[in-house]
Every structure is written in C-alpha cells, then in structure tokens.
Amino acid sequence: MQITETLNQGLKREFDIIIPAKDINSRLNTRLEAIGKRVKIPGFRPGKTPLSLLKQRYQAEALGEVIESCVDKAVKQAVQDHSLKLALKPNVTLNSYEEGKDLTFHMDLEVLPTINEIKLDGLSFEKHVVTIPSEQIADVLKNLANRHRESRPLQKPRKSKKGDVVIIDFKGFVDDKPIEGGEGQDYALELGSGSFIPGFEDQLIGHDKGMNVEVKVTFPKEYHEKRYANKPARFDVTIKDIHELPSVAIDVALAEKLGFKSLKEMEAAVEANLSKDYMDQSFLNTKRHVLDALAERFTFDVPQKMIDLEFDNIWIQLLRELGIDQSQAANMDGKTFKDATGKSEDDLRKDYKVIAERRVRLGILLAEIGNRNNISVSNQELMEALTARAREFPGQEREVFDFYRNNESALATLRAPLFENKVVDFILEKSKLKEIHTTPEELEKILIREEEEAEKKISQVAKKPKKQK
C-alpha cells in the first residue's frame, strides 16, 4: 500500500492512496472462498465449488465488499501513520477501477486544531441570586389549588362568565381555509385562563348553553406557527355545556392530596422549585458570559466542514420554526424572512454562520478542557437526564426510554449539554464569582437585555469583512 500526502495546509489534509492489484486479488479470492463455504451449488459439496465458478456468480458482489474493506483499512492506516485527529469522517473519491490493476483513490479530510496551553486564570463573573418573595409562593400555591378544582355542571341555568369552564366544539379558519390542528370536540376551556389566542375566551363570556358563537381573533405576531402569525382568523364555536369551578382551600387537605405530609412541607417544595428555576436561569446567564470570555480569549482555526454542518442544522431548525418548507426556501424572494424576523435572508445567513463558527470553536475548546481535566458524564447523571426527558411525555415514558437507549446519536444529545455544563462549572470554580442578589423581575429584565445585546453583537461581527488567512 502506498500513501502519499498531497496537501497539508491549515486543518486540511489530502492523500493519494494506491492499493496493489495483488492485494485486491488476494482478498477477493479469500472472500470468494468464504462465500463458497456457505452457498449450495448443485453438483458441488459446500466448500468444494471451483474458484472459477464462484467468480462467475459472486465476483461483482465480493469485489464491492473487498474494495470497501481495502479502502476502510487504508484510510485507518493513513490516519494512524500521520497521527491525525479527525474533525469528521474523511471524504473518499475512488478513481476508475479495472480488474487486475491497482486500486487508487483520493482522500481529503480536516483535522481538529491543536490547542496549546489553556490558561483559565484571571476570569471573573457575576452570578444572580434570586430572593423568592412570599407573594410569588402564595401565587403558585393558589394556582396549584386552582388546578385541582373539579368542575361541576351549573345547578341553575345562567350565562357563562369568567372563571367558568365551557365544554365546546370548535373549528378555526384562516382565509376561509381550515386551520391545521385548529379544531376540537368536547374541549373543556376555562374562561379567563389565557389558554387560547388572546380575545378568544372573552367572546365566549355572556352566552347560554347550546349557543353557536362566531369568534373572530388575530393570531399574535410571535405565534409559533409562522404561517398563521399576525393573521385574522374565524372560529365557529358551539357551547355544549357550562360548568362552574368551586374554590379550593390551601390547607393540609390539599397538601395531603398532592402527596405532602403538611402544608409547611408543600410550601417548602414550592419555594425549592421556584429557586431551582431561577438558579437554572441564572446559570444559563453566567454560562453565556463564560462562553463569551472563552471566545474572546481563545482564537484558533476550526474545520470548515464542521461549521457548514452546524450551520445547516441551525438553518433547518429556523426554517421549521418559520413554517417554511426547506425544498421551497431556495425559490423564495426573501420576503417571508423579512416579514417573520425583520431581517433579509442574506443577513440571517450571515448571522447564523457567525453563530455556527462560534459554537464549533467553543465546542472543541470545551471538549479539550474537559478531556485535560478528566471531566466526564457518569451513567447516573445520564440516566437522571433521560428520566427528566421521559417525564416530558406523560404516558409515553417507556417509548422515550427505549428510543434513547437504542439510538446512540440521540443519547449523545442528552450527554453533550451535561458535559458542557460540567466544564462550565469547572471554569467557574477556578474563577472569581460575585453573587448579586436580585428579584425575579430584575432577573427577567437582565436576561432580556443581555439577549438583545448578544444578538446585536452577532450582527456586528457578521457585518465585518472576513480577514484573509
């Protein structure tokens, strides 16, 4: 086997590889003999079929397998001989092959960058600590009590009012065309709950049981289905019944019904859950600053194919969120992008390419920091994440567990953020961390403001001309 490096530039490597004809022929004969031991050919005992006959019947199949095996072995040999750390699977281009001649092919690939010393000294960050106000705990307890109320039919007929539960059939239309997923039967809707589009529930107040009501609303600009966002809609609604919701006391009986030993224990659990939610939000905010600091401190080339792959994943997700068919996106004039996001398609692509490059660079850096410091995700941590994921699909927990256990790439999507967060925690332990006590409202304002600042920074970077390397 002859391996010749033809390009060594930055992170790119290219090789021309020659596998001698004698090696191909030897492997081909070995493969045909193996086939001869298992196939049954009339007139011959297993393992006694002449090689010439096996070649007539099975050479095409066997040759394909042999070439694939030879190429795979040669690729591994080239990677090993040159001590390459691959970014992605190499791209192999076979030259034309003729029986009895050498097999030649070209291989191009990208390697991971070499990161020398990683200094994490001198870093400092802020951590927002939220003090939970008693009023918020009371609101959560009230919502818990309301969620466990049981509605009952009206004892005396009257018109519907806020706080009632109406049992409805409904069907929605936009531009006189049915809304996908916009219909239901025997749906129990609490008036005033804000479950439906703004204005929908208000128009069902003041009606009698059995009434047909035409509800006219406009979908919000931020509606998750972008094709319906900011569009007027009509819903034909039938009020089949009206139920009232009696109040439920926040007491020991409610606590015991929810599985707590006392009212105090239920209140403590509510406070703990709220604290965890705010701690998670605060961590994500601090993590953003950690990643910003790393991105500013460490600059190195990253494999272009990894950037392209990450960008493609981001772009597909964006199209899905905008309700744009990927196959049609290339033929659009860009108006939909401008209407939905306020930016042209070209500007969006520039922004997301910046994001893709940053993600790849930080991913490589975090992986290197984790590896050098023996940071890993334990099986127990992974199982806890899987359990939490399964809880998001009540009644389908077993299917979720089976899906992830039988799909290594899906399991990797759970492991990756756990690993990343552990590396960030490691960096924070080595950094100066200042705790800032704040309120839930102030934290929300901080998160919104910093999200907007991050988006502006990305757009500014995207507009800068790229430096020639």
The number of CA neighbours under 13 Å toward the Cβ of 94 is: 13
Q: What is the mean pLDDT of the chain?
A: 89
Q: Which fold has domain 150-244?
A: Chitinase A; domain 3 (3.10.50)
Cβ-count burial 19-41 (b if 16+ within 10 Å, e if not): beeebbeebbeebbeebbeeeee
Q: Say if CB 431 and CB 120 are below 8 A apart.
A: yes
- Hey, where are the domains in the chain? 2-110, 150-244, 259-463
Q: Which amino acid is at 253?
A: A
DSSP letters of 390-430? HHTSTT-HHHHHHHHHT-HHHHHHHHHHHHHHHHHHHHHHT
Comparing 226 with 393, which gets the higher pLDDT?
393
Q: Say if CB 271 and CB 137 are below 8 A apart.
A: yes
What's the confidence (pLDDT) of residue 221?
A: 86
Q: Say if CB 177 and CB 234 are below 8 A apart.
A: no
Q: Which fold has domain 2-110?
A: Alpha-Beta Plaits (3.30.70)
**pLDDT per residue as tens digits for the range 2-35:** 999 999 999 999 999 999 999 888 888 788 877 7
What's the confidence (pLDDT) of residue 52?
A: 74
Q: Does residue 335 register a pLDDT over 60?
A: no
Q: Does residue 121 register a pLDDT over 50?
A: yes
**pLDDT per residue as tens digits for the range 75-101:** 999 999 999 999 999 999 988 778 788
Helices (H), 148-297: 252-257, 263-297
What's the confidence (pLDDT) of residue 31?
A: 82
Angle 426-432-433 (CA atoms, 0-180°, nearest 5)? 85
Among 286, 285, 249, which Cα is nearest to 428's? 286
**pLDDT per residue as tens digits for the range 215-237:** 999 999 888 787 888 899 999 99
Q: Which CATH number fits domain 259-463: 2.60.40.60, 3.90.550.10, 1.20.1250.20, 1.10.3120.10?
A: 1.10.3120.10
Q: Does residue 364 register a pLDDT over 90?
A: yes
**pLDDT per residue as tens digits for the range 249-296:** 899 999 998 999 999 999 999 999 999 999 999 999 999 999 999 999
Rounded Cα distance between 135 and 95, Å, is: 73
Long-range contacts of 293-300 (CB under 8 A, 24+ apart): 293/123, 293/125, 294/362, 294/365, 294/366, 294/427, 295/358, 295/361, 295/362, 297/119, 298/115, 298/118, 298/361, 298/365, 299/361, 300/113, 300/115, 300/361
**pLDDT per residue as tens digits for the range 44-59:** 766 677 777 777 677 7
pLDDT bucket at 60, cuts 50 / 70 / 90: confident
Q: Does residue 299 register a pLDDT over 60?
A: yes
CA distances from 234 to 179, 187, 199, 374 (A): 10, 17, 12, 59
Mean pLDDT in residue range 156-176: 93
Q: Say if CB 461 and CB 354 are below 8 A apart.
A: yes
Q: Are strands 124-130 and 432-438 parallel, antiparallel or unpaired?
A: parallel
Among 19, 5, 3, 15, which Cα is nearest to 70's? 19
Q: Does residue 207 register a pLDDT over 70?
A: yes
What's the confidence (pLDDT) of residue 469?
A: 47
Q: Is the dihedral of CA 352, 356, 357, 359 positive or negative?
A: positive
Rounded Cα distance between 374 and 365, Å, is: 14
Cβ-count burial 46-75 (b if 16+ within 10 Å, e if not): eeebeeeebeeebbeebbeebbeebbeebb
Reading across the β-sheet that carries 91-94, which strands appear in turn? 2-9, 12-19, 103-110, 91-94
Rounded Cα distance between 42 and 62, Å, is: 20
